Amino acid sequence: MSEEAEEFDEFDSLDPLDVIRTMIASAISLGAPVYNTGDYRGCYEIYAATARMLNHIVDGAEEERELLRGALELTALEVDVNEQAWVMRRAFDTILGEETVEEEVEEPTPPTE
């Protein structure tokens, strides 16, 4: 193979938005169960790694990639890892065209006499 031959990138022939949405769906399918076990950091790390990877390997879909970069920047300023996970999830859901449904933790009701 000559040195002048173009490097093949398997993502070149795919729609960038399809690649992003597929990878995000995979990240959610891995991260959500991790979150549900109480490992908020683990969930966040899956989401953040996916966002960083997508920004490096995908050409195109600039609006979606900018949304991912913005979410990563927000999480860098957030100290609560639970909120970091939700920042990423809201960005993912926006790209997927879905509404984020956050579970609210109900405070126990004090007993009445």
**8 A C-beta contact, residue 25 and residue 96:** yes
Q: Which long-range contacts (CB under 8 A, 24 or more apart) does 13-18 make?
A: 16/58, 16/59, 16/60, 16/61, 17/60, 17/61, 17/64
Q: How far apart are CA 67 and CA 78, in angstroms?
A: 17
Domain boundaries, the chain: 16-92
Q: What is the tens place of the pLDDT at every residue in 46-85?
A: 999 999 999 999 999 999 999 999 999 999 999 999 999 9
Name the DSSP letter for residue 21.
H
**Residues of the chain by 3-state class (helix, strand, coil), percent to 5:** 65, 0, 35
Band of pLDDT at residue 99, cut at 50, 70 and 90 = confident
> What is the percent of the chain where pLDDT is above 70?
76
Q: What is the pTM of this model?
A: 0.78
Band of pLDDT at residue 5, cut at 50, 70 and 90 = very low
Better-scored residue on pLDDT, 91 or 5: 91
Predicted confidence at residue 14, as pLDDT, reads 84
**8 A C-beta contact, residue 101 and residue 92:** no
